[in-house]
Structure 1
Amino acid sequence: MKPKRSEDGIVDLVDVILRDGAVIQADVIITVADVPLVGLKLRAALAGMDTMTDYGLFEAWDTRQRDRHRERQESSNIEQ
């Protein structure tokens, strides 16, 4: 059976990442002539906003955005 290329693979991957999320963690040490000069500790979380807020990330940002949206709606209702 020959493998076939499917465009749905990318769509499925993006769907899983947005729904479930992914965390990438890396520790990097930059050395010159066996002398460690710089250490980096990197951690990135990638997910949809619903998933992020479910895990307690960006809650303050989400609350501010919702409040701004609500204020805009209220001010546009008052103008009408």
Structure 2
Amino acid sequence: MEPTRPEGHAIVDVLDVLLTKGAIVQADVVVTVADIPLVGINLRAAIAGMTTMVEHGMFTEWDEEIRNQERYRHSEFGRRPRPTVPEPRSDSGSKSDSEPDER
């Protein structure tokens, strides 16, 4: 019997779970020198897709602010007028570069 590789990619499955369900990572780190604790670090991170974060009450203010900015930007009030490009001037009285200069 030989080992076989599954057809799906594991990283895709991990990303799918992280984005849809999320994960909490927590770590406590103590930096010591000669058995003397010098620095203590307590880390906690929530990793999830924005939809999942908002469903759990995280980043709600930020999400609403960004959505309101996008709505305003796409409304008629938020549209910027397109800059007009001036038409090239045709100087009818000036000589063209191909005409020789009379001196």
Normalising by the residue count of structure 1, what TM-score does the alignment of the two structures yield? 0.87
Identity %: 47
SS of the equivalent of 1:56 reads coil
Q: Which runs of 4+ in 1 moved over 4 A?
A: none
**Is it true that 1:41 corresponds to 2:64 in the alignment?**
no
What amino acid maps onto 2:26 in structure 1?
Q
Question: Structure 1 unaligned runs (5+)?
Answer: none
Query: Deviation of residue 10 (structure 1)?
Result: 1.0
Query: Deviation of residue 3 (structure 1)?
Result: 3.7
Question: Structure 2 unaligned runs (5+)?
Answer: 82-103
Q: Which runs of structure 2 are paired with 1:47-66 in the superposition (5 Å)?
A: 47-66=48-67
**Larger Cα-atom Rg:** 2
Counterpart CA distance in 1 for 2:16 and 2:30 is 33
As a proportion of its length, which structure holds more strand?
1
Normalising by the residue count of structure 2, what TM-score does the alignment of the two structures yield? 0.69
As a proportion of its length, which structure holds more helix?
1
CA RMSD of aligned residues (A): 1.9
Counterpart CA distance in 2 for 1:4 and 1:73 is 47
Question: Whose RCO is larger (CA < 8 A, sep 6+)?
Answer: 1
The answer for the alignment partner of 1:70 in structure 2 is: 71
